[in-house]
Amino acid sequence: MTTTITDIKVILTQPGPSRLAIVKVMTSEPGLYGLGCATFTQRIHAVAAAVERHLKPFLLGRDVARIEEIWQMSMVHGYWRNGPVLNNAISGVDQALWDIKGKQAGMAVYDLLGGKSREAANVYVHAHGSTSSDIADHVKQYMADGYRYVRVQQGFYGGKSTDLHKPAGAPDGAYFDPSGYRRDTLEMIDFVRSEVGNEIELVHDVHERLNPADAVLFAKDVEQYRLFFLEDLLAPEDLHWFERVRAQCATPLAMGELFNHPLEWRTLIEGRLIDFIRMHVSQMGGITPARKVADFAHAYGVRTAWHGPGDTSPVGHAANLHLDIWSPAFGVQEWYQPSELEYEMFPGLPVVSDGYLYPQAGPGLGIDIDEQLAEQFPIQEIVEEWTQARLPDGSAARP
């Protein structure tokens, strides 16, 4: 007897700084449902509307087993495609359908994909601070806890924003100075490396804050510190500059969290212009496209490092981990260190031990949500500040 989709809803909740969107797909089999991540926190209401007003009417009554067909038809049904709102909406359904298929089979999603390549996933965590000494101390604390990969950032993306020489009447915004950022960051990484040695793997995120010529120079300057990778050195609009970076230095490169369309990642992998592909799995449409990218990357020696910040929901982190456990192309997983509240709200949320992230036991994605608890933490209505990035003269910049 065919199991069909009987209802789809979006659960909006905010147990921490980020607004989360969880898609719940209900089925004709009593008690059988699946969860997926559709979190695009900056446009969360648009994603919720896309799921409930567009995908839900289109998918009601469809066979839950036909994951690939549902993904393909959902992508083209809106005619215009490959945008973050639609992709996140599709991802929520897609991950929920994989969760359902695993529950029906009594298997974890990583087993459905082909089985384990490893028992747990190496993760990297974030060491922030206002001074190089603070960051080095933070890294040492992580090392003592068993972490072997740490991202180091001085200040927010783009570095410290003090002592900027702004024109009179400059509007409010998240200001940063690209030149100061380059100088301060190189000094910070030099200090941290001298303090913690070479046994720890360091990562740094440029977050597309440099123009292409300065980005090439920065990648060359940081090469001596042997980073595990340099993240988002360039914006998606400037991908052709990766050829120049590759020609001039051996700094390992990671790219992809803003990607929506397959052509964005395909050319970088085929050209072996990056070392790690790190898309936001819900941004790209879910597990169905992510597993294809992982296989494609493996053929070219490119590894995965899926985007895993606090604005990926716990369900999304569980999906990331199933891909990590399965894929031979796995490199490292970004990890955001959930709160006790999140562990209570999302039973089955993966856990870290000695620097490794382990999946919880259970079929499907192995994670659930306490909807009554989630309701107690409604999303806040805010206008994002950090994405209102500006250069010292007040002109708009990419965040």
In the three-class reduction of DSSP (H, G, I as helix; E, B as strand; rest coil), residue 223 is classed as: helix
Residue 123: phi and psi, rounded to 5, are -125, 155
Cβ atoms 128, 136 nearer than 8 A: no
Q: Are strands 351-353 and 333-334 parallel, antiparallel or unpaired?
A: unpaired
> 45, 54, 77, 157: which is the annotated catalytic residue?
157
Catalytic site includes residue 142: no
Which of 116, 63, 59 is closest to 92 using CA atoms? 59
Catalytic site includes residue 207: yes
Question: Which residues does 145 contact at the CB level (< 8 Å), separation at least 6?
Answer: 354, 355
CA distances 174 to 80, 177, 212, 399, Å, are: 32, 10, 21, 9
> 207, 280, 317, 322: which is the annotated catalytic residue?
207
Residue 309: phi and psi, rounded to 5, are -85, -175
- Tell me how far apart the alpha carbons of residues 5 and 9 are, in angstroms, rounded to a whole number: 11
- Tell me how far apart the alpha carbons of residues 1 and 209 are, in angstroms, rounded to a whole number: 54
Residues recognised as catalytic: 157, 207
